[in-house]
Amino acid sequence: MKIVIIGGSHAGMMAADEILRCDPDNEVEIYDRNKVSSFAAEDISAYIRGDVDFLTDLHFDTEMVKNSQRVRIFQAHSVVGLDTKFHQLTIVNKKTKSDFCPQL
């Protein structure tokens, strides 16, 4: 089954991880409007305390998601339309400013 996750933050990565645990044959696409996925905002306090040197180190990825060939992550892609009745998304690639509707 193909599953689309809108948002590649900590919650999006955990959802992808659980989807793969339930059925490793699932295909997962993650659309994240940010240039860097899986940012763990709850760890900003560690950066402020000095426990982490760089904000770019505050990321959460599971090995299952990072190493799976069944997961595709689209960074700098905004979901601008969602039609649940027809199972259709409209995505804008923020780098190229082009929009497209992925095959679901």
pLDDT digits (tens, 9 = 90+) for 50-87: 887 876 666 666 666 777 889 998 989 999 999 999 99
pTM over 0.75: yes
Question: Residue 36 has what pLDDT?
Answer: 72
Q: Are 9 and 38 in contact (CB under 8 A)?
A: yes
Residue 104: closest CA among 32, 3, 5, 24: 3
Domain residue ranges of the chain, discontinuous segments joined by +: 2-77
Alpha helix (H) residue ranges in the chain: 10-22, 44-49, 63-67
Q: What is the mean pLDDT of residues 30-40?
A: 78
SS3 22: helix
pLDDT digits (tens, 9 = 90+) for 48-60: 888 878 766 666 6
Ramachandran angles phi, psi of 26, nearest 5°: -65, 150
Q: Are 43 and 52 in contact (CB under 8 A)?
A: yes
Architecture of domain 2-77: 3-Layer(bba) Sandwich (3.50)
CA–CA distance, 66 with 54 (Å, rounded to integer): 21
